[in-house]
Amino acid sequence: MHAFTIASVLRENHEEVIRRWLGDLHGEIAEDYEEMLLTPMGRGLANKLLGLAVDYLGAEQYQLSEVVHQARDAARYSSYRRAAVGFSLTDIVATAVSFRRALNDTLTNHITPASAQEYKQLLDAVMALNRFCDAIVVGEIAGYFARRDFSGDDSEEAARVA
C-alpha cells in the first residue's frame, strides 16, 4: 500500500466522502446552512477540497506547501462568502471538522492493513490529512474574520466568537 494507493481510495470513493460529510453535519449546523451545502455551490467546495486532499497525499515534498496554500485559500474564500450571507463561525468551522472526519472514516473503511508497514502508511496518511485539514480550518476562520473586518460587524456573535 503506497501513498498513491491511499490517495486512490479517496478518489475512487468520492461520493462516499461527500455522503459521510453531509451526513455528519445533519442536525449539527443550522438548517439553512445545511440546505446551502446541498446546492452545487456547497458541493463545489467539497469537491475542490477533496481533489486537493488527493493531490496532497500524492504530492512530492516540495509540492506540499503549494497544495496546502490552495486549500487554505479555497476555504478562506468560501468562508468569506458564507459569512457574508450570515452563517456563523461555528457552522462554518463545523463543516471543516466534519470534512476531516469524512476523509479519515472513508480511508479507514476501505483500507485494511495486512502488515505493520501498511498500518504505518495508513497512519501516516491519516496524519497527513489531519495536517491538510488544519489548513482548511485556518482558512475558514480567516475568511470569516476577513468578512467581519470588511463589514465592520460588531454584532454580539462576532464579539462573542472573537
Question: Considering the entire predicted model, what is its pTM?
Answer: 0.83
Q: Which residues of the chain have pLDDT under 50?
A: 1, 156, 158-162
Number of domains in the chain: 1
Whole domain around residue 56: which residue ranges? 3-161
pLDDT recorded at residue 1: 46
pLDDT recorded at residue 68: 96
Q: Tell me the pLDDT of the chain averaged across its residues.
A: 87
Model confidence pLDDT, tens digit, residues 21-68 = 888 887 778 888 888 888 887 788 889 999 999 999 999 999 999 999
pLDDT recorded at residue 2: 52
Q: Which three cell numbers stand for residue 24?
A: 455528519
Cα→Cα distances 40→28, 35, 44, 45, 154, Å? 20, 11, 6, 9, 31
CA distance 94 to 121: 28
